[in-house]
Structure 1
Amino acid sequence: MFAVINLISLRILRYRFTLIVTFYRLLATMLYLYVAYVKAYRKQVISINLRQSFQGISLKREQQLIRGYYRHICDLLVEPFMASNLGYSSIGSIVQYKNLQLLNELFEKKKDVILMLAHYGNWEYVNTLPAVCNYEIIAIYAPLKNKFLHDNMLRLRKKFGLKLVCKDEWHKVIREKREKPALFIIIGDQRPALEKHSLEFLNQKTYIQIGGERIARMKACPVLFLDIERTRRNHYVYDFQLITVDASKEEHLFISKRYFQELEKVINNRPELWLWSHRRWYTESYVN
């Protein structure tokens, strides 16, 4: 009897998973048709970014990457909702974490850990990390002007136990003393407000934020880079890679340089998965 009930339950879960994934894939496809062929969303910015990053790129390859980017960004828009509706039982079907043992080893040292990721692949899926580990995981967020969108994005991001901190409270939370170490998630590839620190990235001078490095040096803690690989549609593999075990012992900008070196590798491998539609570089080529 129990075996029959278990079999029925498994089939229901399987059908539910298939229905949810199919619905969101259809929604993403419709979004793609609008974004690519009606709106041509920020196509000029995307084109400029690609040409400057991949010098000598052919028109055919450029158009291929633009279409691939549009497909990816439309999937990215629906994937947080899909993950939320699938719930804990189906996380393993869309997300896989590699090298979790490295996290365990670092936390055994009783120090906080800085996890640096980028706007590559699906960085939003990282909100599922609390479902597979027992550590406090903290991420920063910037409030959205639209209250409906703001409330829903917070709900989606907190679904699996991620602790969210408003950017205005970030430095206060970073300095708090805790009974147990925590993992701090920092996205490091945004364009900085001030043109102070720069390096060579994607074949051009790039100004960078070094907030993640500063925090890590202050806390004398380990720093990890999160490598994100899309293995199939809506499915991502996250691999934790060690940059340093003690940021305070590294030279100035060592962590930032390593971070951008690793990011450049993954972008060159699958260019369409990075966020090309934003004005990342200071250039007069962009047209308002």
Structure 2
Amino acid sequence: MYYLVYGLLYLLSLLPMWVLYLFADGLAALVYHVFGYRKQVVLDNLAIAFPEKTLKEREKIAKQFYRNFVDNFIETIKILSAGKNWLTKHFQIDGDPFAQAYKEGRKCQIHLGHNFNWELANVAMVYYMDYQLLSVYMPIKNKVMDRLFLHLRSKTGVQMLPATNMRNAIVPYRNKQYMLALVADQAPGSVTNAYWLNFFGKPTPFVRGPESGARVGNIPVFFSQIYKTKRGMYRAYFELGSDNPHDLPEGELTRRYIRFLENAIRKHPEMWLWSHRRWKHPWKEEYRQYWIDTEPVK
């Protein structure tokens, strides 16, 4: 089954982008207007994040989101047959933010969110730095799709580490110089093993792992924002979150990242993955010990 699915998608990936985008336009209309895939989740999330906007304004963002959502899927298929020239044409970065850390022999982390197109960023980043790139991923339950995405995500030499076995997976690299990419806006598996703080004015839990690893190893952390210059063309902006996380109070690195993430989403709301239920866990007073925000619960 894997080879059948891979073969069909690979053939599809050989089509020129203008043909794939025609298909994407039709699919986006179906997903939004006909199937309504998680449409209510998207609109509910937008209402939480942007209560000051009218319903019409939020629906406009939702339509733009679904177009980007489908484009992300189509562009990911294209990666199967894309070479270096295509990848570096469609994804670029601002400046060379990692050169000094690499020269000093230090490891680094990138904390990013679910901003389109993170799959393209993952495979293209290796062409912009000297580091060995390690990317943490969540295994897919469907074995065929899990194998397919592992192949796709590692095609340029990226080493994929399963989040479910992160501690053991990173052991072979502990004495090597690497860049570890972490999607840091994941909803935690346990709300009592998380940091809680205000996100778009609502108490929200975030995973502890990205900050914890950086502080233990005193690994410089860069925050990343992916934005689109035009359809199919992406750039990534990087900001140094901390050069010495070990010196920060616990929770400070996460606070900095969440503020960075929220600002990035406010600038380009159509670029974030609104279809996941980011606010599915209501605040309870029993979580008070996990609260790290400098501002009170809203």
Confirm or deny a common fold (TM above 0.5): yes
Query: Is 1:109 the equivalent of 2:101?
Result: no
Return the offset for 1:93.
1.8
Aligned residue for 1:231, secondary structure, equals: strand
Quick one: distance in 1 between partners of 2:102 and 2:264? 27
Aligned residue for 2:72, secondary structure, equals: helix
* More displaced 10-residue stretch of structure 1: 120-129 or 174-183: 174-183
Q: Is the 8 A contact 2:162 2:169 kept in 1?
A: no
Where in structure 2 are there 5+ consecutive unaligned residues?
Answer: 1-12, 283-298
Return the offset for 1:179.
5.0
Question: Which runs of at least 4 in structure 1 moved beyond 4 Å after TM superposition?
Answer: 175-179
Q: 2:46 aligns with which of 50, 62, 87?
A: 50
The equivalent of 1:237 in structure 2 is: 235
Quick one: distance in 2 between partners of 1:74 and 1:111? 38
The residue type equivalent to 1:272 in the other structure is E
Query: Is 1:73 the equivalent of 2:79?
Result: no
* CA displacement 1:161-187 (0-9 Å, x = unmatched): 111122233112435555541000101
**Equivalent runs, 1:246-265 vs 2, <5 Å:** 246-265=244-263
Return the offset for 1:283.
5.2
Aligned residue for 1:86, secondary structure, equals: coil
Aligned residue pairs total 267
Where in structure 1 are there 5+ consecutive unaligned residues?
Answer: 1-16
Quick one: distance in 2 between partners of 1:185 and 1:262? 16
Q: Is the 8 A contact 1:114 1:186 kept in 2?
A: yes
Q: Is the 8 A contact 1:20 1:86 kept in 2?
A: no
The equivalent of 2:155 in structure 1 is: 159
Query: Is 1:60 the equivalent of 2:56?
Result: yes
Query: Is 1:190 the equivalent of 2:190?
Result: no
Q: Is the 8 A contact 1:131 1:161 kept in 2?
A: no
Q: Is the 8 A contact 1:113 1:222 kept in 2?
A: yes
* More displaced 10-residue stretch of structure 1: 27-36 or 211-220: 27-36
Q: Is the 8 A contact 1:222 1:247 kept in 2?
A: yes
Aligned residue for 1:79, secondary structure, equals: helix
Say what the alpha-carbon RMSD is for the aligned residues.
1.9
* CA displacement 1:24-80 (0-9 Å, x = unmatched): 212211220220121011111111111111113211101101111110100011112
* CA displacement 1:215-243 (0-9 Å, x = unmatched): 00111110000121111111110122101
Quick one: distance in 2 between partners of 1:106 and 1:173? 23
Return the offset for 1:144.
1.5
Return the offset for 1:213.
0.3
Return the offset for 1:205.
1.1
Quick one: distance in 1 between partners of 2:86 and 2:185? 30
Quick one: distance in 1 between partners of 2:252 and 2:82? 40
Quick one: distance in 2 between partners of 1:158 and 1:193? 26
Q: 1:89 aligns with which of 82, 85, 92?
A: 85
State percent identity of aligned pairs: 28
Q: Is the 8 A contact 2:224 2:239 kept in 1?
A: yes
- 1:219–1:174 CA distance, 2 compared to 1 (3 A): farther
Bigger Rg over Cα:
1
* CA displacement 1:114-166 (0-9 Å, x = unmatched): 11000012111222111333321001222222222122111111121111122
The residue type equivalent to 1:139 in the other structure is S
The equivalent of 1:202 in structure 2 is: 200
